[in-house]
C-alpha cells in the first residue's frame, strides 16, 4: 500500500516502456457493498459476501482491529475476493487512463496483454485451424519448449455457439458440458508427462483466473480412476483440496447462473474455506487430447536473454503512395521494405541453423483508432465484407465492420528474393515464412529456422490491406546469430 495513494505503473505499450501515474481511487457501486467475513478469529485473510445494500461510511482501521462485520464499498470493475490484492485494480486503472476510459477496456487479446506486462515476444496458435500442428505431435513439443524456457502460457476457450454473442440473451455467461467457461482465458501453469500402470500421460495444469473452474472430465477432481496414489504423489495433487467452489459470488451478476448449462455454484462451504491453501482456486489438470478438444487458442509469450539472442528493431509507416497494399497489387513495390543479412558462420561453429523470431506491432494511436472507427461507421452501408490471405487474394466474405475492430488488416512476409526490394508480383516459392493471412490485430509474429549460409540475404515485407490504408508499425527481430537489419530504398 502507498500512504500517498499514488502509484506508477510500468507497461510496455506501442513498442516501448511507459510509466503511467495513477491514484488509488476506484469506481464503486452505490447500491451494493461487500460484507466483511473472517474465516476464523485469528485469520488474516478476509472473505467478502456481496450484499444488495449501500456501503457504510467507515473510518480506516488496522486489519487486526477490524473484528466487526462491516459493509464496505464494492468496486465496479476488477476486484480481489480477499480484499488484500490491489495490483490488478491498479493495472486496470492504468490501462483505462492510457486508453481514455474504462469502457475502452472491454474485450482484448491474451497475447497482447502478455506483451504489455512483460515486453516479451508473443505467439498465438489456432488449435482448430492448424491441423498439422496438432496431428503431427508438434503441439506437445511446442508446449514443452515453452515450459523449458519458463515462458508464459495461456489458453482460450471457444465462444458459445450463439449468433453474434458468446452469452445468452439475458447476458448470462455459460459453460460447456465439462465445466469450461465459453469465450474465456485460462492460464497454463504446468506442462508435464508421466507414466503409470495405465500408460503414458501428457498433462497440462490450467487455472481459471476467476477461480470458479469446475472441470469434470478426465483428470478432474472427481476422477478417482486416474488419480492413483502414484499420480497424486508425482504431481503433488490432493483431490480433496481441489477447486474451491462458490467463487462465483465475486463475479459480475450476469455470470452467476445459466439456464441451459451448468450453474456456477453460489455457496462457499466451510470445508472449502479451510482447504483454500491446499490447491489454488480454479486450478485443474487436463489431458492434451481434452485440451485440444475443449480449447481453441494457445498463447505463448517468451523473454529473450540478451546474452544469448541478438535483437534489432526498426520503425516504419505506410503513408501516401507507400501504402501500396498487399504484394499482389501493382503499387506494392512502394511499401516499406527491409533487408535482413546474417553474419557468416565461423568454420569451427557446429551450429548450421539460424533460429529467427520476428514480430510486427501496429503503432496506431488511440486518436487514430477513434477516427478510423468513425470513418467505418460512416461507410458501413457501402462496405463489402471480405478477407484476404497473405498475398492479398480475396477469400470468403467474413469481414464485419463493428466497434471491436480497432486495427487495420496487417501482414508480414519474410522473402527470399536476394535481399532486394519486391518490384513485381510475388510468387509462393519466394515466401520463406509469414504471419499468415491478413489480420486486424495489434501484433503478429512468426518463427522460423533458416540454414546458415554465407551468401543469403532476406527481405522483410510488411503490408496493410486494402491498398491506401495508412498506419505506423514496429518490427522486432530476434536471432540466434548476429545480423544486420536495414531499410531498403523504394521509389514512389
Give per-residue pLDDT as tens, 252-267: 333 333 333 333 333 3
Cβ-Cβ contacts under 8 Å for 308 (sequence gap 6 or more): 480
The average confidence (pLDDT) of the chain is 80
What is the reported pLDDT for 347?
Answer: 53
What is the reported pLDDT for 479?
Answer: 96
215-251: b or e for each residue (b if 16 or more CB lie within 10 Å)?
bbbbbbbeeeeebeeebeeebebeeebbbbbbbbbbb
Domain 310-487 is found in CATH 2.60.120.380: yes
Please check whether residue 77 is in contact with residue 102, taking contact to mean a CB–CB distance below 8 angstroms. yes
| In the chain, where the domains are located | 31-75, 110-302, 310-487
CATH of domain 110-302: 3.90.70.10
Cβ-Cβ contacts under 8 Å for 479 (sequence gap 6 or more): 309, 310, 311, 342, 354, 355, 356, 357
Say how far apart CA 28 and CA 221 lie, in whole Å: 36
Say how far apart CA 398 and CA 274 lie, in whole Å: 50
CA dihedral 283, 285, 290, 295 (to 10 degrees): 30
What is the reported pLDDT for 369?
Answer: 58
Indicate which residues carry an active-site annotation.
184
- Smallest CA-to-CA distance from 202 within 185, 219, 217, 178 is with 219
Question: 353-362 and 471-479 as β-strands: parallel, antiparallel, unpaired?
Answer: antiparallel
User: Which positions of the chain have pLDDT values less than 50?
Assistant: 60, 62-64, 164-171, 241-278, 348, 383-387, 391, 395-405
Cell of 118: 512483460
- Going from the C-alpha of 163 to that of each of 168, 208, 258, 295, 417, the distances in angstroms are 10, 25, 17, 19, 44
pTM for this model (two decimals): 0.78
Is the bond preceding 390 in cis, omega lying within 30 degrees of 0?
no
Fold matches, 110-302 and 310-487: no
- Smallest CA-to-CA distance from 334 within 430, 154, 457, 461 is with 461
What is the reported pLDDT for 276?
Answer: 42
Reduced to 3 states, what is the DSSP secondary structure of residue 35?
strand
pLDDT in tens, 346-402: 554 556 889 999 999 998 765 565 555 555 556 555 544 444 555 455 544 333 333
Amino acid at each position: 500500500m502507498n500512504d500517498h495513494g499514488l502509484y506508477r505503473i510500468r507497461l510496455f505499450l506501442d513498442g516501448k516502456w511507459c510509466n503511467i501515474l495513477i491514484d488509488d481511487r476506484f469506481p464503486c457501486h452505490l447500491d451494493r457493498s461487500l460484507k466483511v467475513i473472517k474465516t476464523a478469529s485469528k485469520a488474516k485473510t478476509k472473505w467478502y459476501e456481496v450484499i444488495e445494500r449501500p456501503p457504510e461510511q467507515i473510518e480506516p482501521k488496522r486489519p487486526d482491529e477490524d473484528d466487526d462485520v462491516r459493509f464496505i464499498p464494492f468496486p465496479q470493475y476488477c476486484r480481489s475476493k480477499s480484499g488484500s490484492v490491489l495490483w490488478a485494480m491498479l493495472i486496470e486503472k492504468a490501462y483505462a487512463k492510457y486508453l481514455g476510459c474504462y469502457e475502452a477496456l472491454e474485450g482484448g487479446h491474451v497475447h497482447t496483454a502478455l506483451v504489455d506486462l512483460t515486453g516479451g515476444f508473443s505467439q498465438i496458435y489456432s488449435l482448430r485451424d492448424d491441423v498439422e500442428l496438432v496431428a503431427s505431435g508438434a503441439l506437445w513439443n511446442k508446449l514443452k519448449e515453452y515450459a523449458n524456457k519458463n515462458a508464459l502460457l495461456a489458453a482460450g476457450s471457444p465462444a458459445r455457439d450463439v449468433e453474434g454473442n458468446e452469452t445468452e440473451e439475458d447476458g448470462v455467461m455459460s459453460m460447456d458440458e465439462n465445466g469450461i467457461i465459453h469465450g474465456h482465458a485460462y492460464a497454463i501453469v504446468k506442462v508435464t508427462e508421466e507414466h503409470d500402470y495405465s500408460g503414458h500421460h501428457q498433462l497440462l495444469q490450467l487455472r481459471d483466473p476467476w477461480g470458479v473452474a469446475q472441470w469434470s472430465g478426465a483428470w478432474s477432481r472427481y476422477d478417482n480412476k486416474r488419480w492413483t496414489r502414484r499420480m497424486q504423489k508425482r504431481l503433488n495433487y490432493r483431490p480433496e483440496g481441489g477447486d474451491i467452489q462458490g467463487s462465483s459470488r465475486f463475479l459480475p451478476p450476469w455470470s452467476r447462473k445459466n439456464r441451459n448449462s451448468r450453474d456456477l455454484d453460489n455457496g462457499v462451504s466451510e470445508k472449502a474455506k479451510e482447504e483454500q491453501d491446499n490447491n489454488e482456486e480454479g486450478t485443474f489438470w487436463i489431458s492434451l487430447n481434452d485440451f485440444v478438444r475443449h480449447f481453441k487458442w494457445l498463447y505463448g509469450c517468451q523473454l529473450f536473454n540478451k546474452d544469448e539472442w541478438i535483437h534489432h528493431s526498426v520503425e516504419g509507416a505506410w503513408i501516401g503512395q507507400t501504402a501500396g497494399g498487399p504484394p499482389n497489387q501493382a503499387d506494392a513495390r512502394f511499401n516499406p521494405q527491409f533487408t535482413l543479412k546474417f553474419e557468416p558462420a565461423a568454420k569451427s561453429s557446429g551450429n548450421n541453423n539460424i533460429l529467427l523470431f520476428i514480430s510486427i506491432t501496429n503503432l496506431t494511436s488511440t486518436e487514430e483508432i477513434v477516427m478510423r472507427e468513425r470513418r467505418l461507421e460512416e461507410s458501413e452501408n457501402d462496405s463489402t465484407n471480405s478477407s484476404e490471405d497473405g498475398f492479398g487474394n480475396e477469400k470468403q466474405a467474413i469481414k464485419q465492420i463493428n466497434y471491436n475492430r480497432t486495427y487495420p488488416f496487417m501482414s508480414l512476409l519474410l522473402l527470399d528474393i536476394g535481399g532486394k526490394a519486391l518490384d513485381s508480383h510475388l510468387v509462393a516459392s519466394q515466401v520463406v515464412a509469414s504471419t499468415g493471412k491478413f489480420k486486424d490485430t495489434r501484433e503478429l509474429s512468426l518463427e522460423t529456422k533458416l540454414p546458415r549460409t554465407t551468401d543469403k540475404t532476406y527481405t522483410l515485407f510488411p503490408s496493410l490491406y486494402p491498398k491506401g490504408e495508412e498506419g505506423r508499425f514496429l518490427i522486432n527481430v530476434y536471432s540466434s546469430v548476429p545480423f544486420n537489419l536495414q531499410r531498403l530504398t523504394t521509389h514512389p
